[in-house]
Structure 1
Amino acid sequence: MLFALICTDKPDSLDLRMEVRPDHVAYLNTLNENGVLKLAGPFLDENEKPDGSLVVIEAGSREEAHRIAADDPYSKADLFASVDIRPYNWVFNKPGE
């Protein structure tokens, strides 16, 4: 099942985001290599600076999706003010279909 991780950064946390970004990207690369990551990218504020993330993963359960989200270096660095994990149904422009 697919899950959307909808993450909102804490205010004034761009420096922390950029500091932790290499570890975050490495983590996403590992998820991608294992077929878990389906899509990912940052949300942008009015100045086009990252202020959150959208990550879509495939996981066997909501609990597994929570574990994957918690293992993200951004989560471990306490970057996010909130993380909403929701089941996701990819309908349009799904690769391979």
Structure 2
Amino acid sequence: MYFHKKLKEYFTNKGLNNRQIANEIGYSEAMVGRYLTKSKPNFELLTRIVKSYPDIDLNKLFKEKYSNTVQEEPAIYTKESIAIINNIEKELQALKDKIDPV
């Protein structure tokens, strides 16, 4: 999702319209509308937004995805994999027994 769409979503979730945003950051309503539809933000706009809305997360807005988590494939073990794991566990237990016999 593009920056402007995420920014618009942020303001929509806060229940703010373009006029309210414009009044808060000191831009015209038309200019705010442009930034919320497709114009790339400039440093001045970002500075004003952060000053007016300190809870905004610019990192989240600039990232391609919302999530920082890694989506991993579920582990699928074959019979051979399970056999190898069992052998490793047996060898590990044998080593532990040599080090600290009960």
| Greater fraction of residues in helix | 2
| Structure ID, larger Rg | 2
Q: Which has the higher contact order (CA 8 A, sep 6+)?
A: 1
| Greater fraction of residues in strand | 1
- Give your verdict on TM over 0.5: no
